[in-house]
Every structure is written in C-alpha cells, then in structure tokens.
C-alpha cells in the first residue's frame, strides 16, 4: 500500500475509534490543522511541476476529502450519543408521587371564620371589614353610647395615645363599628357579616386581650325579631351540623339594640362533655350563651343617616373563638394564641380540605 493510502487507513481508523468529542478534535487538529499531516501534504502540491501535481494531486485530495468526511460522521455520532445520554439522565417519571414538603395547617379560628362565611353566603350575606384601630365615634357614640354613657365602662377599652389634642383612638372593643361603617357607605337593603379581631384588657382561661368576633347586620323593610330568630337558628344548625339545636332567647341590654336578646343553645352532658344539641331544660341538659343580638336601635339607624321609620333590622355578635371551642372541644382559650406547633398540628385543619362543612344551609 502506498504511503498515502496507509496514512488514510490509519487516520480513518483513529477517527472511528475516538470516543469523545475532545479526542476527535485533537485528531482533527493533528490532520487538518495548520500544522496537520494532511495540510502538510496539501502544501507540497503548490511548488510541484504540473506533471507531478497531476499524478500526486488526486490521492492527496482524496485523502483530505475522506478524512474530512470521517471527521464529520464521527462528530455527528458522538454528538447524538451525548444527547441520548443527557436525555436518559434527565428523564422524569411523572407517575412518582410528589414530595409533599412541610405541611402547614389552618388555625381553628380561621377554619371557623371560613365556615361562618360559607354558611352566611348561602343566606345571601356578604363579608364586610373595618379597621382594628377605630375612632370612638364608630366604636361607641354612633352605637348609642355617648361619652358619659356607663356602657362604655362595660368594655375594658385599650386607648391609644392621642395625636395633637385629637380624641384618642381605641383598639375596637367589638365588631359592631362595622355596622356603622356599612350603613354609612352602602344603601340598604344590607345583609353583611363582619368577622375580625377585637381587643379588651382582660386575661384568664376564657378571656384573652385579643379575640375574634363575627358581627351580623340586616337592614331592610319590615324586618322583625322572627327573622332574627330564624336566621340564628338556621346558622347554628348549619354550624354545629345538627338538626336538634334548641335556642333560648333571653331579654338583655345592649345600647345599640332594642329590644336586645341574649341567645343560649341547649347542650346535653355526655360522658362528662357538653355536647351541643337538645333541650337544655331536659334532665342532664343545660344552656350555654353563644350570642348577643337584637333589633337595631332607631338611634343607631338615625346616626347613620337613615330613616328608622323606613328601615329596620337586626344585628348580632358572637365570639368566634368560643364557637370554635364548643364545636371542636378545646378548653383553654389561651392555647389558641400561644403558637405551639404541637397544638396547631393536633387542632389545625388541612388547607386542602376547604370548603369545610359536610353540607350547607338546609343540608
């Protein structure tokens, strides 16, 4: 075999055996680079006589073309193999279960607020909100508690320091100021609930300085105590998920409702536990106060710029934390706000399980 044929066979064998792109590139430089063997042979053609070139040219050109073709073929093969390996390594099995990661839980207070919003949405109520730092007019005065009214002392109010001689603001002591804000901003008929945080200077096993209330307000024409009773009964049956809820309405006093009623629900002692449901006057039964309510006082309707001869309504307020304790069997209110993860894991709810009630209103 001629020298060139030998060279060609050797180069092509080396190229075919190159197992990485880097090795192949080194072979290309060795053959076709500036100082490569093939380049060197091509350079010898220039100074040759035409006769010599006619004889020696074709095998050298053939060498160049064959080596270039072998390099291209091998390069494509190596690139394809690299791509195949990468695809195989990056394959994702979409059928594997996903890593769930750390799971949070829904606090019982949030859960109960969601449940209440859901129940009242079924009854046509929307959700209203108001500020937690409130002025005294909304928190007291417009609710028929003028400055000297003894009822202001009923609430152990947190007063903020006054700004430049202005009247000091308060941390709202109840959600009732949202009644005022809604009546002043919205044309009747009105059907709202207002859940939120409220503050009173009080602390023991059943009182915390911050707690949660939910307010209800209906303003329309011809509203009576009967509508109030039906609404509360329907809501409490849906909330406790029982049909045998019995209510007891007791005359009471709130400055912003007239008449005012406090609402108790009957319970039965079962294995030493108070289980909501049944007639509280039956043997083994008792009553638990759950709500304050009444017909909205004419003076409150007037303070909001409405004519009390045209518009009437009812309002109610209840403690969300207390409702949560009764429904889910927790007995220390302070644990609600300790942020103890063990308590939250035990009493919390899965975020994926909302909506939460097994039925709705009337289920």
Binding site for ligand PHE (CB under 6 A): 174, 176, 215, 254, 257, 292-294, 315-317
For residues 63 and 32, give the distance between their C-alpha atoms in angstroms, rounded to a whole number: 11
Tell the burial category of 140 from Cβ atoms under 10 Å away from its Cβ (0-12, 13-18, 19+).
buried
CB of 314 to ligand PHE, least distance (A): 8
CB of 155 to ligand PHE, least distance (A): 7
CB of 113 to ligand PHE, least distance (A): 16
Nearest residue relative to ligand PHE (C-beta): 317
Helices of type H across 18-122: 21-32, 37-45, 50-89, 108-122
Measured torsion, CA atoms of residues 336, 342, 346, 348, in degrees rounded to the nearest 10: 50
Contact of 12 with 66, CB cutoff 8 Å: yes
Distances (CA, A) of 238 to 96, 108, 111, 301, 327: 40, 17, 14, 30, 12
Contact of 298 with 320, CB cutoff 8 Å: no
For residues 26 and 252, give the distance between their C-alpha atoms in angstroms, rounded to a whole number: 98
Distances (CA, A) of 77 to 24, 64, 66, 171: 11, 20, 17, 76
CB of 136 to ligand PHE, least distance (A): 15
CB of 144 to ligand PHE, least distance (A): 11
79 annotated binding-site participant: no
CB of 333 to ligand PHE, least distance (A): 16
Q: Kindly state the tokens that stand for 105.
A: 């839980």
For residues 235 and 119, give the distance between their C-alpha atoms in angstroms, rounded to a whole number: 7
Return binding residues for Mg(2+).
Answer: 258
């Amino acid at each position: 075999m001629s020298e060139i044929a030998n060279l060609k066979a050797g180069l092509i064998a080396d190229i075919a055996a190159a197992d990485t792109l880097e090795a192949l590139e080194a072979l290309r430089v060795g053959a076709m680079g500036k100082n490569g063997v093939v380049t060197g042979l091509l350079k010898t053609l220039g100074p040759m006589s035409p006769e010599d070139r006619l004889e020696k040219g074709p095998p050298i050109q053939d060498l160049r073309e064959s080596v270039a073709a072998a390099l291209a073929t091998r390069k494509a093969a190596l690139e394809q193999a690299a791509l195949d390996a990468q695809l195989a390594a990056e394959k994702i099995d979409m059928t594997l279960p996903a890593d769930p990661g750390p799971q949070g839980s829904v606090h019982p207070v949030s859960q109960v607020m969601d449940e209440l919003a859901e129940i009242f949405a079924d009854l046509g109520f929307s959700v209203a909100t108001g500020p937690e730092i409130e002025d005294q007019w909304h928190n007291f005065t417009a609710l028929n508690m003028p400055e000297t009214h003894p009822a202001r002392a009923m609430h152990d109010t947190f007063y903020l320091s006054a700004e430049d001689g202005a009247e000091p603001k308060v941390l709202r002591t109840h959600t009732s100021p949202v009644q005022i804000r809604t009546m002043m901003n919205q044309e009747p008929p009105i059907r709202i609930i207002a859940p939120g945080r409220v503050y009173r200077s009080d602390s023991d096993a059943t009182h915390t300085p911050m707690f949660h209330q939910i307010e209800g307000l209906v303003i329309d024409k011809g509203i009576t105590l009967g509508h109030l009773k039906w609404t509360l009964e329907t809501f409490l049956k849906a909330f406790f998920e029982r049909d045998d809820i019995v209510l007891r309405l007791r005359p009471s006093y709130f400055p912003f409702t007239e008449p005012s009623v406090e609402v108790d629900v009957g319970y039965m002692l079962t294995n030493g536990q108070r289980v909501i449901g049944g007639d509280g006057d039956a043997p083994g039964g008792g009553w638990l106060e759950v709500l304050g309510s009444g017909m909205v006082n004419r003076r409150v309707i007037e303070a909001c710029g409405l004519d009390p001869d045209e518009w009437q309504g009812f309002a109610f307020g209840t403690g969300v934390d207390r409702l949560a304790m009764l429904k889910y069997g927790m007995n220390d209110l302070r644990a609600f706000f300790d942020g103890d993860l063990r308590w939250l894991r035990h009493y919390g709810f899965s975020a994926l399980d909302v909506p939460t009630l097994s039925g709705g209103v009337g289920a």
